[in-house]
């Protein structure tokens, strides 16, 4: 085990933590990776200079570093490794907002909700909205190219990152891009680091593009007696309109949410769609009316539309609490597979088949409008046989997504839990290309080893 005292000596008191009780709380992210190791130390730098000091120290010794945001990752991207440093960005929490350029410069440890709140003070909006937005960090969002509910209209994290400061594997600090909507000078390095899951560098600052505040949204909720009818409605909507949200819950999720919130969701429905429009003025209501009509045409058994923002927000919250509501039934394996929209029906029905064959409970919720689904596998870890079947289903769902021309992860990242499937999705040549870039930027392989590759 490396002696971290020489690192502690380079940094203010409290930055390097070796207390095993504290370390214990940092060994895993929300993926609860059972393979988590014992880190040499937890490092909590307060600024870029301290991050660079840590990375230079590790570079000189060949010590690995696992970067970590708020620990809400669902693919084990922040799983601690034996003898490595766990670098948490939690103390890096500054933000400044420029309302004229309509940009914010944020440090990575700030939560997504804190970024939203800070820019809202200037009448501005940072769109990407993972369901975990109240507890996930903006740095982690950038590292995984996180998505969310509004992405169907507004795009994902990479669409909002104009620049960043990154500490490279040898401790060099570089600034990429900046507060310019257009910049074709040199390679698109900013975009390369977004979604690199800490394997190429450690993001210490982000320049984010902002939009004017989102207009009030109108909302429509539709129940369907079959999954097929719900998928038909989704394709009819996305083929004609641009809703600001288009979410899907299956019967298991509907009932789990209803158990928790008692808000009158249709427990008999096979699927529920929640769609919103933020078109200006009365156009939101008109767009929602069009969506309602398309749902009815696709065979919805019940359709409810409202212009009341609070009422609409209640349904959005219902969709967001689906994961915690299902967690009450037992630990979850959270999937994040996506397919091109025309394949959504095949994916959803195929997942139901996998659940039947493996005799596990799988609930599907989805950012339906962009084909990004979250099959949630509920299992009892104390039951070895059920755990094995859950793991089999986890893999088979990714196999199915790949077979349908889809992706094993739409917005959570590959981390450690999904890396065995990445070569099946992208093929050996893209893996080789990925390794070329990784080796060029991190020849010792000290940055988040074991993640992605």
Q: Which of residues 232-271 bind a copy of itself (CB under 8 A)?
A: 235, 238-242
Contact flag: residue 212 with a copy of itself (CB under 8 A)? yes
Count the neighbouring beta carbons within 10 Å of the beta carbon of residue 425: 20
Q: Which is nearer to a copy of itself, 98 or 302 (CB)?
A: 98
Q: Which is nearer to a copy of itself, 10 or 433 (CB)?
A: 433
Q: Which is nearer to a copy of itself, 195 or 312 (CB)?
A: 195
Q: Which is nearer to a copy of itself, 239 or 353 (CB)?
A: 239
| Among the listed residues 27, 30, 59, 102, the single contact to a copy of itself using CB under 8 A | 102
Question: Least distance to a copy of itself from the beta carbon of 67, Å?
Answer: 16
Please list every residue from 167 through 186 that binds a copy of itself, using CB under 8 A: 168, 172-176, 178-186
Sign of CA dihedral 215, 218, 224, 230: negative
Please list every residue from 433 through 452 that binds a copy of itself, using CB under 8 A: 433-434, 436-441, 452
DSSP 8-state symbol, 409:
-
Q: Which is nearer to a copy of itself, 184 or 262 (CB)?
A: 184
Question: Least distance to a copy of itself from the beta carbon of 341, Å?
Answer: 5
Q: Which is nearer to a copy of itself, 178 or 324 (CB)?
A: 178
| Among the listed residues 1, 9, 187, 310, the single contact to a copy of itself using CB under 8 A | 187
Please list every residue from 336 through 395 that binds a copy of itself, using CB under 8 A: 336, 338-342, 367, 370-372
Question: Least distance to a copy of itself from the beta carbon of 371, Å?
Answer: 6
Question: Least distance to a copy of itself from the beta carbon of 264, Å?
Answer: 31
Question: Least distance to a copy of itself from the beta carbon of 123, Å?
Answer: 8
- For residues 383 and 385, give the distance between their C-alpha atoms in angstroms, rounded to a whole number: 6
CA angle 162/164/169 to nearest 5° reads 140
Three-class DSSP category at 115: helix
Q: Indicate the helix (H) or strand (E) that contains 250.
A: strand 245-250
Number of residues that bind a copy of itself (CB under 8 A): 90
Q: Which is nearer to a copy of itself, 160 or 379 (CB)?
A: 160
Tokens for 302? 């019940």
Count the neighbouring beta carbons within 10 Å of the beta carbon of residue 191: 15
Q: Which is nearer to a copy of itself, 209 or 389 (CB)?
A: 209
Q: Which is nearer to a copy of itself, 9 or 432 (CB)?
A: 432
- For residues 26 and 329, give the distance between their C-alpha atoms in angstroms, rounded to a whole number: 25
Please list every residue from 275 through 334 that binds a copy of itself, using CB under 8 A: 279-281, 283
Contact flag: residue 22 with a copy of itself (CB under 8 A)? no
- For residues 270 and 155, give the distance between their C-alpha atoms in angstroms, rounded to a whole number: 28
Question: Least distance to a copy of itself from the beta carbon of 37, Å?
Answer: 24
Please list every residue from 136 through 165 that binds a copy of itself, using CB under 8 A: 144-147, 151-152, 155-156, 158-159
Question: Least distance to a copy of itself from the beta carbon of 451, Å?
Answer: 11
Torsion over CA of 44, 171, 146 and 424, rounded to 10 degrees? -120
- For residues 291 and 282, give the distance between their C-alpha atoms in angstroms, rounded to a whole number: 14
Which stretch in 268-276, 306-314, 354-362, 417-425 sits in contact with a copy of itself by CB under 8 A?
417-425
Please list every residue from 39 through 68 that binds a copy of itself, using CB under 8 A: none
Question: Least distance to a copy of itself from the beta carbon of 439, Å?
Answer: 7
Question: Least distance to a copy of itself from the beta carbon of 308, Å?
Answer: 21
- For residues 70 and 377, give the distance between their C-alpha atoms in angstroms, rounded to a whole number: 23
Q: Which is nearer to a copy of itself, 83 or 171 (CB)?
A: 171
- For residues 329 and 38, give the distance between their C-alpha atoms in angstroms, rounded to a whole number: 30
Question: Least distance to a copy of itself from the beta carbon of 180, Å?
Answer: 5
Three-class DSSP category at 377: strand
Q: Which is nearer to a copy of itself, 291 or 422 (CB)?
A: 422
CA-to-CA dists, residue 206 to 143, 157, 194, 213, 407, angstroms: 11, 11, 10, 20, 26
- For residues 29 and 77, give the distance between their C-alpha atoms in angstroms, rounded to a whole number: 8
Instruction: Tell me, rounded to whole angstroms, the distance of Cα 360 from its chain centroid.
Output: 24
The secondary structure of 316-349 as a DSSP string is: HHHHHTHHHHHHTTS-EEEP--B--GGGHHHHHH
The secondary structure of 65-105 as a DSSP string is: EEEESSS--SS-TT---TT-EEEE-TT---EEEETTTTEEE
């Amino acid at each position: 085990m490396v002696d971290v005292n020489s690192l502690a000596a380079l940094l203010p008191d409290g930055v390097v933590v070796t207390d095993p009780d504290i370390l214990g709380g940092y060994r895993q992210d929300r993926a609860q990776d059972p393979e988590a190791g014992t880190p040499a130390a937890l490092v909590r730098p307060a600024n870029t200079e301290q991050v660079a000091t840590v990375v230079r120290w590790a570079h000189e010794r060949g010590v690995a570093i696992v970067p970590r945001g708020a620990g809400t990752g669902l693919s084990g991207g922040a799983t601690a490794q034996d003898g490595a440093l766990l670098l948490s960005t939690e103390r890096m929490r500054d933000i400044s907002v420029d309302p004229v350029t309509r940009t914010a410069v944020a440090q990575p440890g700030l939560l997504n909700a804190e970024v939203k709140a800070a820019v809202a003070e200037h009448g501005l909006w940072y769109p990407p909205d993972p369901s975990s937005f109240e507890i996930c960090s903006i740095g982690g969002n950038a590292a995984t190219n996180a998505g969310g509910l509004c992405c169907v209209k507004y795009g994902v994290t990479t669409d909002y990152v104009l620049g960043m400061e990154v500490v490279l594997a040898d401790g060099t600090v570089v600034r990429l891009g900046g507060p310019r909507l257009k910049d074709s000078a040199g390679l698109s390095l900013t975009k390369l680091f977004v979604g690199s899951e800490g394997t190429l560098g450690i993001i210490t600052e982000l320049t984010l593009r902002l939009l004017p505040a989102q207009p009030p949204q109108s909302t429509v909720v539709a129940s369907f007696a079959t999954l097929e009818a719900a998928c038909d409605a989704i394709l009819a909507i996305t083929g004609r309109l641009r809703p600001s949200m288009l979410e899907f819950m299956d019967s298991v999720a509907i009932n789990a949410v209803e158990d928790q919130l008692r808000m009158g969701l249709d427990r008999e429905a096979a699927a529920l769609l929640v769609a919103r429009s933020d078109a200006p003025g009365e156009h939101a209501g008109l767009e929602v009316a069009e969506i309602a009509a398309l749902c009815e045409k696709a065979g919805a058994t019940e359709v409810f539309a409202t212009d009341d923002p609070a009422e609409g927000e209640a349904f959005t919250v219902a969709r967001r609490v689906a994961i915690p509501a299902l967690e009450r039934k037992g630990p979850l394996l959270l999937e994040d597979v996506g397919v091109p929209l025309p394949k959504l029906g095949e994916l959803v029905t195929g997942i139901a088949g996998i659940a039947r064959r493996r005799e596990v409970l799988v609930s599907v919720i989805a950012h339906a409008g962009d084909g990004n689904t979250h099959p949630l596998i509920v299992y009892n870890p104390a039951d070895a046989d059920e755990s094995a079947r859950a793991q089999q289903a986890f893999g088979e769902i990714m196999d199915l997504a790949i077979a349908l021309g889809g992706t094993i992860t739409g917005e959570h990242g590959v981390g450690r839990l999904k890396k065995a499937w990445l070569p099946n999705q992208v093929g050996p040549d893209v893996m080789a290309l990925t390794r070329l870039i990784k080796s060029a930027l991190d020849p010792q392989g000290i940055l988040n080893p074991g993640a992605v590759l």
